[in-house]
């Protein structure tokens, strides 16, 4: 049967926002088709603009409805399937807040250390990037200390999808992190769904 869901994504090696939505749909166990739009090609802008007003990936097509933006797609999935946010109302509120923090913030980390799954470098990073990394590591530490783990709120939630691309940056750019944060990064990067995505990224041309 053809799935009524199509997720439009960018290059798997580079598109962090696509990875977030893709992980959420995988964890939701919602079957979906994926369509890869190569970024940085001469026709990319026109292809993306034809797909949605946002002109970005990810975009989820649900029958004839178009949902752009990783956060909107995640909220759609959370309505369709239970358990993508923590059950406890206070934890759920905190998980949503931290997801928004990732969606809107950590600009220096995102700019200076863009997701590139194939990249490994020890080049010194700017102070502003290191400050963002330290803030993120502390934030993870705080959540992980309050729950039994292995994820930010115990069980996997959308918040973990949003921090997965950030975790890969710590590894790619050798960013300092606390031991607890390091364990969390290893957990995210050994997730089977993430590893499926990563395997595609490694052979992408």
Ligand X SMILES: N[C@@H](CCC(=O)N[C@@H](CS)C(=O)NCC(=O)O)C(=O)O
Which stretches of the chain bind ligand X, using CB under 6 A? 10, 15-18, 39, 44-45, 48, 56-58, 69-71, 103
Considering the complex, state which of residue 17 and residue 153 has its C-beta at the smaller distance from ligand X: 17
Write out the DSSP string of the chain.
---SEEEEE--TTT-HHHHHHHHHHHHHT---EEEE--TTSTTHHHHHHHH-TT--S-EEEETTEEEESHHHHHHHHHHHSTTSS-SSHHHHHHHHHHHHHHHH--HHHHHHS---TT----PPPPHHHHHHHHHHHHHHHHHHHHS-SSBTBBB--HHHHHHHHHHHHHHHTT----HHHHHHHHHHHT-HHHHHHHHHHHH--
Closest to ligand X by CB, 10 vs 86, is 10
Q: How far is the CB of 146 from ligand X (least distance, A)?
A: 27
Q: Which is nearer to ligand X, 73 or 133 (CB)?
A: 73
Asked if 9 contacts 39 with a C-beta cutoff of 8 angstroms, the reply is no
Of the pair 20, 94, the CB lying nearest ligand X is at 20
**Which residue number places its CB atom closest to ligand X?**
56
Nearest distance from C-beta of residue 124 to ligand X, angstroms: 25
Minimum Å gap between C-beta 16 and ligand X is 5
Give the nearest distance from C-beta 141 to ligand X in angstroms. 25
Q: 30 or 71, CB closer to ligand X?
A: 71
Q: Cβ 148 to ligand X, closest distance in Å?
A: 30
């Amino acid at each position: 049967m053809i799935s009524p869901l199509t997720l439009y994504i960018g290059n798997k090696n580079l598109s962090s926002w696509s990875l977030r939505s893709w992980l959420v749909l995988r964890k939701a166990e919602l079957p979906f088709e994926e369509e890869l739009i190569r970024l940085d090609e001469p026709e990319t802008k026109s292809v993306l603009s034809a797909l949605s007003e946002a002109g970005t990936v990810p975009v989820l097509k649900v029958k004839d409805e178009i949902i752009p933006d990783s956060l909107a797609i995640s909220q759609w999935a959370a309505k369709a399937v239970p358990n993508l946010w923590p059950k406890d109302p206070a934890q759920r509120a905190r998980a949503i807040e931290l997801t928004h923090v990732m969606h809107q913030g950590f600009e220096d980390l995102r700019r200076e250390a863009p997701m590139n799954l194939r990249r490994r470098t020890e080049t010194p990073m700017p102070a502003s990037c290191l400050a963002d990394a330290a803030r993120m590591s502390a934030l993870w530490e705080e959540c992980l200390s309050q729950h039994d783990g292995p994820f930010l709120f115990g069980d996997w939630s959308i918040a973990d999808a949003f921090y997965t691309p950030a975790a890969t940056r710590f590894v790619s750019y050798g960013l300092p992190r606390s031991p607890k944060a390091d364990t969390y990064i290893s957990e995210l990067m050994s997730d089977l769904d993430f590893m499926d995505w990563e395997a595609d990224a490694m052979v992408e041309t």
